[in-house]
Amino acid sequence: MSPLFLVYHQDYLTSYYTSTVECPARVKAIHAKLSNRFPIVEAQPAKREDILRVHTSAMVERVELESRETYETALLAAGGAIRASDEAMRGIPTFGLVRPPGHHAGPDRYWGYCFFNNIAVAITRLMANGTIASAVVIDLDLHDGDGTEAIFRDNPAVNIINVRAKTRTAFLEFLGQELGKSSGTDLLGISAGFDTYVRDWGGILGTEDYRAIGSNIRKAAHRLCQDRCFAVLEGGYYLPDLGKNVLAFCEGLAGL
């Protein structure tokens, strides 16, 4: 059995109207580094009913009006998170190499290069079908997962940890403390942003830090929820090193 699965679909390379920094080259760079390292599971589009558990029908219609490419790629990203969460439930850590990102998409509002909240769609589906009763979401991105917070605001069964820090040491310490404080849960979901990188906007974390973070999350998943852990790509815009940073994180998560 592989120590980690990668969920991917070539249609994540679709060009649709968004910020120029949130470009197909992001997933291309990551895929180039990871595709011969871990087995790939192909994503399927999410069903509209999966999306409607977390977003209003009015918002879904607004995304449809952006363009057909936007809507279909956003459905495929949410479907990638769903597939990653299903693999995680078998005890295999899984990374959803998806695009567009999702953590800024709230119940009736989307922004920040996000359309549907991929990680929230996946967790809400597992709760709705009775597979899990609780989850912890750890958001590693430079920016707050405000959409995820808004979606789960009234749901005490989902605990959201936004890791925010101005320095490398503070980031790693905060994450360690929060993981240590967490008690048993059914599933760990990671909003994996890499814009905290030293050469990216955040300017604090190095490649080996991502490996250590992946490894610490793996250990926490072992202790808290029988190794059930999935990560979904959020931000990360420094293309020359994005692939090696995600690889380091995944190797840590896989226990390699």
Report the interface residues with Zn ion, using CB under 5 A. 141-143, 193, 195, 235
Min dist CB 234 to Zn ion, Å, is 6
CB of 232 within 8 A of CB of 119?
A: yes
Closest CB to Zn ion among residues 94, 196: 196
Provide the 10 A C-beta neighbour count for residue 184. 10
Closest CB to Zn ion among residues 63, 142: 142
Min dist CB 193 to Zn ion, Å, is 5
Which two three-digit tokens encode residue 61?
Answer: 């219609």
Min dist CB 227 to Zn ion, Å, is 27
Min dist CB 24 to Zn ion, Å, is 18
Closest CB to Zn ion among residues 5, 237: 237
Relative to beta strand 229-233, strand 40-42 is: unpaired
Closest CB to Zn ion among residues 38, 115: 115
Start-to-end C-alpha separation, the chain: 14
CB of 180 within 8 A of CB of 215?
A: no
* C-alpha–C-alpha distance, residues 44 and 254, integer Å: 23
Interacting residues of 167 by C-beta distance below 8 A, sequence separation 6+: 204
